[in-house]
Structure 1
Amino acid sequence: MDDKKMVNVIIDDKHIQVPAGTTIHTAAKEVGINIPTLCYLNLKDFGCVNKVASCRVCVVEVEGKGNLAPACSTPVFEGMKVCTNSIRVLNSRKTVLELMLSDHPKDCLTCQKSGECELQDLAISFGIREIKYKGKESTYRKDATKSIIRDRDKCIMCRRCETMCNEVQTVGVLSAIDRGFNAVVSTALEMDLKDSVCTFCGQCVAVCPTGALVERDATWDVLAALANPKKTVIVQTAPAVRTALGEEFGYPAGTGVTGKLAAALRKLGFNKVFDTDFAADLTIMEEASELLDRLTRYKAGDKTVKLPLLTSCCPAWVNFFEHNFPDLLDIPSSAKSPMQMFSAVAKNIYTKELGIDRKDLVVVSVMPCLAKKYEADREEFSKDGNYDTDIVITTRELARLIKYANINFHSLEDEDFDKPLGESTGAGVIFGRTGGVIEAALRTAADWYTGESLEKIDYKEVRGLEGVRSADVKVGDLDLKIGIAHGLGEARKLLNEIRAGKSQYHAIEIMACKGGCIGGGGQPYHHGDTEILKKRISVINSEDTSKTLRKSHENPYIKRLYEAYFDKPMSHNAHELLHTRYFEKNKI
């Protein structure tokens, strides 16, 4: 069918002209008619659409058709007449919902998704007050990791997570198993997520309409630490958190709340409130040095140099290449992520300045990402059993903490982060969006390579929301080819090129989530809406341009840190504390 051909359709007596092939659901939306659904999810900007038509909540009447049609997967045709609100349609939807609820746990009061559950919302909108259908209920064992909890009793077989995991992220952990009453979305051989190739990116959690997939909540761990008088509790917060936290309190997407964020964390009782942007500047000192070192040796004819250099800030991405590309483990930068650099400095240097043992310092990290919970639990980021990062909570969990504490977020006056670990440049801020890490690295690498303080620091050629982007960047006499990918499916394309020896890039930035950290699995739910992601990116860019200093190597506190402890980037001391190594992961 020619998608460019326009057809005339009537939906609830409203006339509309849409391209042939458009679904009834999409066409209805064009005229302001909302058709409820649980399985449908438009991830077109992510590269796919989940339209398995499994929930049957979106059924409508089509004139001339005997059966009700699922609006999400039924294409329109010339002259089609659709009714979305007949008694037959409403009864069918209500019956479907009642059947779903009959095989669904009744723990809504304690479910983590309560208030965010789409099944709950539909039950409320249909006025369902009793479960008419009684019978056997599905029971599965729970699977709890440091990052994600799977409660398959709450799975409604919408298969959104399967689409996200397989088609967008190309990780391939989740799929439908069994048939009939026993059908559920699970892992191969029903193995635990920790034993699978799961990267813990959390994108499955972000699209799940119920409590079947949620993050492991650590809010009460934070409160317990704050209540312990023997502990000094500090907090760091990632750049992407400030772009979305306001959404949890009714602010429109694109509202920056950096000052209120710092104020709220201080009111919660943290001894010091720091900014992960400081550590992002620190990361650039090491990563930009590593890039220049490889480029310089490559230019001099060293055939052993591994290019392209891959950024290493995203733990889901690190997990992805450890599982799937173990032959390329020597290509990524060995620099730790900003979160882990901050925690390493806090536990090994800041504690000395405070005069306390590292075991008496609790480092809490507020992150937009579920994989950060996994990253904090990696054994190499610990010393004598004491982890560098003690607790990780997401943006959503922080919002819950603020609400627990009865803090009026709207009335908070803006406050600053504490120094020295709270001082940052614009380069640290842009780590929160796709293209930001490599742009920050270019700002510093260009100055160091040319020996000048260059005025051109906005590398707009690396910005954008295309899944894979290429940019040609001139740095002195170097013509650099830069690659950027966000989303693990897009990353796989670039890694396959490297493996095949076809990559022309000198450096590649990869982030596991669409949009970068601003679209992380721990952020307020955006349901694949790229307009929300664009607005969050605008917060990042605005904060960057408002900074007096916009290059990581100009951060005065970073300079002092090197003078006092590291001497210079890539030094022995810097490698000991700020760098890591990667491991081949065994697949079951």
Structure 2
Amino acid sequence: MEMVNIKINGMPLSVPKGTTILQAAKQNGIDIPTLCYLKDINEIGACRICVVEVKGARSLVAACVYPVSEGMEVVTNSQKIYESRKMTLELILSNHEKTCLYCVRSGKCELQKLSLEYGLGDPTAWAGANTKYDIDESAAHMWRNNNKCILCRRCVAVCKANQEVGVIGANERGFDTHIGCAFELDLAETPCVSCGQCITVCPVGAIGEKDDTAKILEALRDPAKHVVVQTAPSIRATLGEEFGMPIGTNVQGKMAAALRRLGFDKVFDTDFGADLTIMEEANELVERVKNGGKLPMITSCSPGWINFCEMYYPDMLENLSSCKSPQQMFGAIVKTWYAEKNGIDPKDIVSVSVMPCTAKKFEIGRDDQSAAGVPDVDIAITTRELGRMINQAGIDFVNLPDEDFDNPLGIGSGAGHIFGATGGVMEAALRTATEWITGEKATTLEWNDVRGTAGIKEASYKVGDLEVKVAVASGLSNARKVLDAVKSGEKDYTFIEIMACPGGCVNGGGQPIQPASVRNFTDLKALRASALYGEDKDMELRKSHENPAIQELYKEFLQKPGSHTAHKVLHTSYKPREKFAYKK
């Protein structure tokens, strides 16, 4: 690697050629503030917060996009730089809705942090004209408030670069510039897939998930309601971040304890639903392989991906597994088997889910998701919403004792745990499907070819007399590449896992917000996933089909995977969204 010699604030350094000033400074313990920059996604140098002085340059330069060169001398903290950054912040705030006291992002807002650091205290500074926008609350999962938008374009970039959906962009020009949909449509009128990635990258409070916590509190106060909660596999690896714990901390025991203290009648684990999904999905895969069914079969756990398929690839709906997602399977079992066993009318059960995904808010309202004649799941909230509920209740999360989930729907396998990471569903399915196909006990449980945070992973396995070709894609731009390769005949897979969010559910649109200063230099996906794989490795129960609670469920209620009852309760259907149908 070719190195170049530079100086930053008079300190001699040697850094790789091609490194930006921002990266060089970070590697040597100097933080340069940013607002618009997101590594590999939004590298446009537009906000001008990261400006620095370079000897010989006629003006300040944007550190996020300016590459170093041999002999370069950089200053990052002069009075000229301070005044420039402060003026830029004042100009941003002059047209910003300053409702920080009750903003959902207060305390975690990147603009608020910089304003404090640069001593902005005069609310009348740069007073003048202000733009006013209506808040868009049309979508099922989120709202947009352009009165708080700072035009950093992070949301635009992630929607286009990571997801290749691109339903938002910069409209108008000059002072009238704003982020919106084409023809100023409401978000609900566009082919938005509800992934929520735009929320996680917004540096301020201009975008957020719809808060459904008040609905839960109302249900908890109603003595006539039996309120149960399920938590998705990835939540245990991310919830701790809401309370300042290190990224990748497994807080399963504290999470169960906190939910019990919030007043839920039963605290369950979606891992049970994940294991159930594998029973049905693995059976479906084996049936398709043996009986000449539609291949490749594609997983159906990610509702953002399902939305994308219905809108952008309606001709591939037959390839989708007919299985409901783990969230919906779990809710269906709660309102059928669990309700019957406990003598509770399904109408009196309030089924709550804590999910990493804003698309889950859309999913609970989909057609064909009401196994007992009422919605399988009534309320879906994000990790962030649960964090707010715990704080509002005054629960000292960090110091809670570890507690277990309630049984039997609190029993999950290691295979269920790893659903939260990209490749996890594939690995869990392979652990079961290979044993069913060969009739022999698996000698290995780690399928390393499908692990890791790469956007696309491929592998081929010899299973008995069959060659099983698999692919794993996370992020919808990668999903598009895989699907186009299948449609063109370039690739021939047996089984494909697709997750809408890059890295899978651990990086979902409902997960804790991390600022750009963390996102740009930390692999969130890998750290969070490591907590799930670590838990799986240490468990005795690591295969979905060996889960005793799952075995009891089939014995008492479902009979066998793929049975008539199983299809009625656990499977669903899809249809093209003709209104949004799009072909590349």
Counterpart of 1:274 in structure 2 is 268
Counterpart of 2:23 in structure 1 is 26
2:417 is the alignment partner of 1:433: no
1:162-181 superposed Cα distances (whole Å, 9 cap, x missing partner)? 11110111111121111001
Q: Secondary structure at the match of 2:222?
A: coil
- The CA distance in 1 between the partners of 2:155 and 2:222, in whole Å, is 39
Counterpart of 2:184 in structure 1 is 190
- Displacement of 1:383: 6.8
Q: Secondary structure at the match of 1:421?
A: coil
1:452-479 superposed Cα distances (whole Å, 9 cap, x missing partner)? 2223222222211211111122211212
Q: What amino acid is aligned across from residue 141 of structure 1 in structure 2? A: D
Counterpart of 1:45 in structure 2 is none
2:556 is the alignment partner of 1:564: yes
- Displacement of 1:485: 0.8
2:177 is the alignment partner of 1:180: no
2:102 is the alignment partner of 1:105: no
- Displacement of 1:519: 1.0
Q: In 1, are the aligned partners of 2:195 and 2:508 still within 8 Å (CA)?
A: yes
1:323-347 superposed Cα distances (whole Å, 9 cap, x missing partner)? 1100111001010000000011112
- The CA distance in 1 between the partners of 2:575 and 2:46, in whole Å, is 39
2:37 is the alignment partner of 1:40: yes
- From 134, 144, 150, the counterpart of 1:150: 144
- The CA distance in 2 between the partners of 1:505 and 1:325, in whole Å, is 17
Q: In 2, are the aligned partners of 1:199 and 1:319 still within 8 Å (CA)?
A: yes
The runs of 4+ residues in structure 1 deviating greater than 4 Å are none
- Displacement of 1:105: 0.5
Counterpart of 1:64 in structure 2 is 56
Using structure 2 for the length normalisation, give the TM-score.
Answer: 0.95
- From 295, 300, 305, the counterpart of 1:307: 295
- Displacement of 1:356: 2.5
2:510 is the alignment partner of 1:537: no
2:204 is the alignment partner of 1:207: no
Return 12-21 or 442-451, whichever deviates more: 12-21
- Displacement of 1:449: 1.2
Counterpart of 1:479 in structure 2 is 467
Q: In 2, are the aligned partners of 1:52 and 1:159 still within 8 Å (CA)?
A: no
- The CA distance in 1 between the partners of 2:372 and 2:264, in whole Å, is 25
Q: In 1, are the aligned partners of 2:336 and 2:371 still within 8 Å (CA)?
A: no
Q: Secondary structure at the match of 2:318?
A: coil
Q: What amino acid is aligned across from residue 97 of structure 2 in structure 1? A: P
2:330 is the alignment partner of 1:337: no
- The CA distance in 2 between the partners of 1:587 and 1:154, in whole Å, is 31
- From 52, 75, 79, the counterpart of 2:44: 52
Counterpart of 1:243 in structure 2 is 237
- Displacement of 1:155: 1.1
Counterpart of 2:154 in structure 1 is 160
1:427-449 superposed Cα distances (whole Å, 9 cap, x missing partner)? 11111111110111111111111
Q: In 1, are the aligned partners of 2:226 and 2:350 still within 8 Å (CA)?
A: yes
Counterpart of 2:9 in structure 1 is 12
- The CA distance in 2 between the partners of 1:528 and 1:206, in whole Å, is 13
Counterpart of 2:453 in structure 1 is 465
2:262 is the alignment partner of 1:265: no
- The CA distance in 2 between the partners of 1:94 and 1:192, in whole Å, is 35
- The CA distance in 2 between the partners of 1:374 and 1:528, in whole Å, is 30
Return 77-86 or 145-154, whichever deviates more: 77-86
Q: In 2, are the aligned partners of 1:469 and 1:484 still within 8 Å (CA)?
A: yes
- The CA distance in 2 between the partners of 1:507 and 1:51, in whole Å, is 35
2:154 is the alignment partner of 1:136: no
Q: What amino acid is aligned across from residue 524 of structure 1 in structure 2? A: P
- From 354, 363, 375, the counterpart of 2:363: 375
- Displacement of 1:529: 5.3
Q: Secondary structure at the match of 1:143?
A: coil
- The CA distance in 2 between the partners of 1:21 and 1:98, in whole Å, is 33
Q: In 2, are the aligned partners of 1:56 and 1:96 still within 8 Å (CA)?
A: yes
- Displacement of 1:536: 1.5
- The CA distance in 1 between the partners of 2:26 and 2:449, in whole Å, is 35
- The CA distance in 1 between the partners of 2:574 and 2:477, in whole Å, is 21
Q: What amino acid is aligned across from residue 477 of structure 2 in structure 1? A: G
1:371-405 superposed Cα distances (whole Å, 9 cap, x missing partner)? 11111121332379842211111111111111111
2:411 is the alignment partner of 1:423: yes
**Pairing 1:479-558 to 2, within 5 Å after superposition:** 479-526=467-514, 527=519, 531-558=523-550
1:115-157 superposed Cα distances (whole Å, 9 cap, x missing partner)? 1110011001111111311111111121122211111111111
Instruction: Evaluate the alpha carbon distance shift between residue 413 and residue 156 of structure 1 in structure 2; reply closer, same or farther with a 3 A threshold.
Output: same
2:400 is the alignment partner of 1:388: no
- The CA distance in 1 between the partners of 2:73 and 2:436, in whole Å, is 66
- The CA distance in 1 between the partners of 2:180 and 2:3, in whole Å, is 41
For structure 2, the residue ranges without an aligned partner over 5 or more in a row are none
Return 529-538 or 305-314, whichever deviates more: 529-538
2:224 is the alignment partner of 1:224: no
Q: CA RMSD in A?
A: 1.5
- The CA distance in 1 between the partners of 2:454 and 2:535, in whole Å, is 23
- Displacement of 1:197: 1.3
Q: Secondary structure at the match of 2:238?
A: helix
For structure 1, the residue ranges without an aligned partner over 5 or more in a row are 43-47, 299-304
Using structure 1 for the length normalisation, give the TM-score.
Answer: 0.95
Q: Secondary structure at the match of 1:240?
A: helix
Q: What amino acid is aligned across from residue 474 of structure 1 in structure 2? A: K
- The CA distance in 1 between the partners of 2:539 and 2:27, in whole Å, is 41
Q: Secondary structure at the match of 2:257?
A: helix
- The CA distance in 1 between the partners of 2:88 and 2:223, in whole Å, is 53
Q: What amino acid is aligned across from residue 121 of structure 1 in structure 2? A: K
- Displacement of 1:530: 5.0
- The CA distance in 2 between the partners of 1:127 and 1:530, in whole Å, is 28
Q: In 2, are the aligned partners of 1:14 and 1:31 still within 8 Å (CA)?
A: no
- The CA distance in 1 between the partners of 2:72 and 2:540, in whole Å, is 60
- The CA distance in 1 between the partners of 2:175 and 2:252, in whole Å, is 48
